[in-house]
Structure 1
Amino acid sequence: MTSGGNGVIGLVVNPVAGLGGSVGLKGSDGADVQRAALAKGAEPKAGRRAAQAVATLLARRPGARLVTVAGAMGEDSARAAAVPYELAPSGVQDNDVSTATTTAADTRAAVAALAGVDLLLFAGGDGTARDVLDAVRELGGQAPPVLGIPAGVKVYSGCFALSPATAGFVAADFLARPDSVEAEVVDLDEERYRRGLVSPRLYGSLRVPAGRAALSGRKAGSSDAVPATVEGIAREVAARLRPGARYVLGPGATTAAVGRELGLATTLLGVDVIEARAGGGADLVAADVTEGELFELVRGRETVIVLSVIGGQGFVLGRGNQQVSPRVLDEVLGGVPGDGDRLVVLATQQKLAGLGGRPLLADSGDQELDRKLAGHVRVITGYRESTIYRICAASEEFYG
C-alpha cells in the first residue's frame, strides 16, 4: 500500500462504449450502430468495467474522494462498486443506456464538470478518448491528467491502462506520486474499418500518469511484417488442421492469411469459423459471427481458437475480438485453459521481439478466467516454427 495524500478522482463513463464488439459491428460510434448493437442483443459493459476500476482504487486508497456525474455516465458505476461518491452538476441527463442516448457532447460536458479533480478516469474506447481530448483542449491549463479505463471495441490509443483493475491501481498510486507524461490519442474511421481498411490517425496527446509499464501503449502496425513470414504461419496452421475439428479464426491480417491459404472467403476484421476436412483443406462454416452465434457453433464440438497478437501491446484477448467471450472460452477449453491444442496464437518473430520480453495479455472481461489462462501458450511464428510464450491476465501483470 502506497502512502501520501488522498486526493480527488473524477469518473466519466461512456455507457455505450464497446456495445458493437460482441455482435461483430467492429465499433460503437454513432447512434445507429448503438441501436443496431442493442437490437442484436449486445449488453452494455463499460459501466461494469468502470465499477471494477473504482472499486480497486478505493480498496487501495480508501480516503480518496470520487466525484462523478449522474446516471449511466458515472453514478451507476459508483453505486455498483458500492463506494462513496459525490455528484458534480454537469447538465448531463440521467441517461438510460438501454436507449443508447449518450453523445460525444455529453462526454465533453461531463469532463468539463470535473475539471477540478486531481485525476480524471474515463471508461470507453478510442472514440471516447477523442471526446475527452476535445474537452481537455477547451479547458486548457485547468484540465486535469486523465487515464482511460479500456471499455471499447478497439483500444489503440496509449492513454489507457492495461485493464480496469490496473486503472484503479495506477490512479491510486498517482495520488501519492502525481507524475505525468504525454500519451497519444489515435482512432480509426469506423466506416472504413468495417470495409477492412485499417488506417489509425493521430489526433493529439493527453497527460496521463507516468506509469508507462501499466499503460497499453499505442498499437503498432503490421505493415512491416514480411509477407513470406505471414504466409508461412498460414501454411503451418493449415498443416496442423485436425479433420472434423472446428477452428475459430479471430480478426487480423495474420488470421486472414490462414483463410487465403485454405481458399476460403474469411473476413479481415470479423471472427470466422471453419471446419477441417478429412484428406486436407477446410470448409467455411460461418463468417463474421456474433458472440451468440459463435457459442452455438462451438458448443459440444472439438474446437481450436486461433488468435493473433496486437503489435506493440501484446493483447491476445479483449481487443477487437470480444466475440470470443468468457463463455466461449470456457466451452472450448473444457476446463483445461492451458491446453496448447485448443488455444493457438499467431505472431511473427518480429512482433514478439517488439514486445521486449513483455508477456502476452488477456483481458476477456472475466478476471478469474484470465488468471486461469495465465502461464504459457503456443505461438506459431512461421512454417514449421513455433515457440512457447508467456501469457498473463492484463489486470495482474504489473499489480498482481
Structure 2
Amino acid sequence: MKCFKLGFIINPIAGIGGSVALKGSDGMVMHALALGAKPQANIRATLALEVLLPYKDNIVIYTASGLMGEQCATDLGFNVEVIYQATNEQTDSQDSQLAAQALLAQGVDIILFAGGDGTARDIANVVANDDYQAVPVLGIPAGCKIHSGVYAITPKAAGRIIELMVTKELVTLTTGDVMDIDERLFRQGIVKAKRYSEMKIPSELRYVQAVKSGGIESDDLVLQDIAANVIEEMNDHGERQFIIGSGSTTAFLMSELGLANTLLGVDIVREQTLITSDVTEAALYQAITDHSGLSQLVITLIGGQGHVFGRGNQQLSPRIIRAILAQSGGRDNIIILATKAKLAALGNKPLLSDTGDIELDQQLSGFMTITTGYKDQVLYPLASPQ
C-alpha cells in the first residue's frame, strides 16, 4: 500500500503575541516572550496529528527541522523525513516559504501547516507557482489573526480532514481565500484586511471555517438596543465588573458608554468606568481573582465563522473562562451579543469554542442565551468542533 505523503510545517511563533495583548507576532517575538508569552503553535499542531495516530504506519511526514515540525511529528512516533533545515533558532517567513518549496519538490499529497494569516500568505506565495497550484493545503489555526478561509475550524478538525484523505474517502476540493491585515494598524484598533491570494483546500464544510466577514454592523438601531440592554444590566449591578471582548458589536457598546475601546483587545469596565484597557491574560486573571464581586464576560462572535472563543481573543484563556464559570451564575456570566442578522448569516451552523482545551470546549457546549436586542434574547447552540 502506497504511503500517504503528508507535508507538514509549523510556524513556531504563530500567535505568540495573543495572550499578552500584542495582537500578533510580526516583529514582536522578543517583546512577547519578555511579557511571559508561551508559544502555542506546536501544541495545536500536536492536537491535529494525534487524530492520525491510528494510521501512522501508512503516513510519511515530510517536514522541516526542530520546532518547525520535526519535533512534533517525531515525538508522536510518525515516520518522519526532514527535508528542510532552519538556519536560525528563531524562524521567520522565509523559512516557511523555503520549507514549502522543499515539500512541493517531494510531491506531497497535501501541505498541512500551523500558523495564522501571515503563515498562510507565506505558503500561498509558494503554492501560487503554476507548477504547484494543484497541490491542496490546509491550515491548523494557531495565530492571532485567522481571517483566511484556508483553515480548519479547530486543530482536531484539521486532523479529521487529513484522516478522510488517508482513508481514501471522497474529499471535494475548492479554493479558499488568503486574507491578511496590517498588524501595525491592527495594534491601533484599525482593521485593514484584504484578499492576497487563494489556495486549493479540502472543502469539508463540517471542518473548514469560512472567511471572516468584514465591516461594521450597519443596523445602528439594533446595536443601540443591544447596548441599552447591557447598560441597564450594568446600572442594576454596580458591584460587578464587565470584561469587554473584541469586535465591532462590543465596540458599539463601549461607544454608547462613552468609553475608549480597544477594538481588537480586552477592556475592563466597572460602574460604567474604564478600569483597564487592552489588558493581558495575566492581568485579566489577577483582576478577576482580586475583585470581590462577579466578573462577567461581554463578547460577540466572529461574523461568518461563529467563533466566540479562540479567534482574536486569546486573552480569554481557558483559566480565565474557568474562573468566570466558577462564579455564582456559571454560564450566565458569559454575555454574548449578536444581531439576528449575524446569527442568520451562519446558516444554522452552531457557534464555536476553540479554546485549545477540549474538556472546556465540551463543557461550554449546549444552548447559549444570545442578547439580540433590548429585552430580546434567543437560544443558540454552541458546539465543541471535532
Q: TM-score range by the shorter chain?
A: over 0.9
2:77, 2:303 → 1: CA distance?
36
Contact 2:7–2:108 (CA under 8 A) maintained in structure 1: yes
Partner of 2:95: 106
Structure 2 distance, partners of 1:318, 1:268, is 16
Q: Show the counterpart of 2:284.
A: 294
Could you tell me how far 1:147 is from its partner in structure 2? 0.3
User: Aligned partner of 1:304: which letter?
Assistant: Q
Amino acid in the other structure paired with 2:67? A
Contact 2:57–2:79 under 8 Å retained in 1: no
One-letter code aligned to 2:71: D
Indicate conservation of the 8 Å contact 1:107/1:132, yes or no. Answer: yes
Matches within 5 A, 1:205-354: 205-241=198-234, 242-276=237-271, 282-299=272-289, 301=291, 302-334=294-326, 339-354=330-345
Conserved? CA contact 1:254–1:346, under 8 Å: yes
Structure 1's 379 and 60: CA in aligned 2 closer, same or farther, altered over 3 A?
farther
Which of 367, 376, 381 is the equivalent residue of 1:390? 381
Are 1:315 and 1:360, in contact at CA under 8 Å, matched by a contact in 2?
A: yes
Structure 1 residues 296, 54: CA separation in 2 closer, same or farther (over 3 Å shift)?
Answer: same
Give me the whole-angstrom Cα distance separating, in 2, the residues matched to 1:178 and 1:217.
17
Counterpart of 2:282, as a letter, is G
- Separation of aligned partners in 2, 1:306 and 1:120: 37
Deviation of 1:67 after TM superposition, in Å, equals 1.9
For 2:33 and 2:130, locate their aligned partners in 1 and report how far apart those are by CA, in whole Å.
Answer: 34
* Contact residue 56 and residue 79 of structure 2 kept, 8 A: no
Written as runs of structure 1 = structure 2, the 5 A alignment for 1:75-86 is 75-80=70-75, 82-86=76-80
Asked if the contact 1:194/1:269 (under 8 Å) is kept, the reply is: yes
Aligned to 1:279: none
150-159 vs 250-259, greater mean Cα deviation: 250-259
The alignment covers a number of residue pairs equal to 378
Identical aligned residues as a percent: 39
Partner of 2:83: 89
Distance 1:139 1:366 in 2: 39
1:345 partner SS: strand
TM-score by length of 2: 0.93
Q: Which runs of 5+ in 1 are unaligned?
A: 277-281
Q: What is the SS of the residue equivalent to 1:88?
A: strand
For the structure 1 residues 141 and 332, does the alpha-carbon distance in structure 2 shift closer, same or farther, using more than 3 Å as the test? Answer: closer
Task: State the 1:70 CA deviation.
Answer: 0.7
Q: Which stretches in structure 2 are left out of the alignment for 5+ residues?
A: none
What letter corresponds to residue 124 of structure 1 in structure 2?
A: G
Cα deviation, residue 182, structure 1: 0.7
Show the counterpart of 1:361. Answer: 352
Shift of 1:333: 0.8
Contact kept in structure 1, 2:111 and 2:138, CA below 8 Å: yes
Opposite residue 97 of structure 2, the aligned amino acid is: R
3-state SS of 1:141 partner: coil
Q: Show the 5 A alignment for 1:66-81.
A: 66-80=61-75
User: How far apart, CA to CA, are the structure 1 residues paired with 2:284 and 2:2?
Assistant: 48
Structure 1 residue 143 displacement after superposition = 5.8
Given that residues 18 and 152 in structure 1 are in contact (C-alpha distance below 8 angstroms), is that contact kept between their aligned partners in structure 2? yes
Q: Render the CA deviation track for 1:164-192: whole Å, top value 9, x for unaligned.
A: 00000001102313532111100001111
Aligned partner of residue 365 in structure 1, secondary structure:
coil
Which residue number corresponds to residue 137 of structure 1? 128
The range that moved more, 309-318 or 380-389, is 380-389
Shift of 1:137: 2.1
Q: Contact 1:60–1:169 at 8 Å: present in 2 too?
A: no
- Cα distance in 2 between the residues matched to 1:264 and 1:210: 42
| TM-aligned CA deviation for residue 142 of structure 1 | 7.0
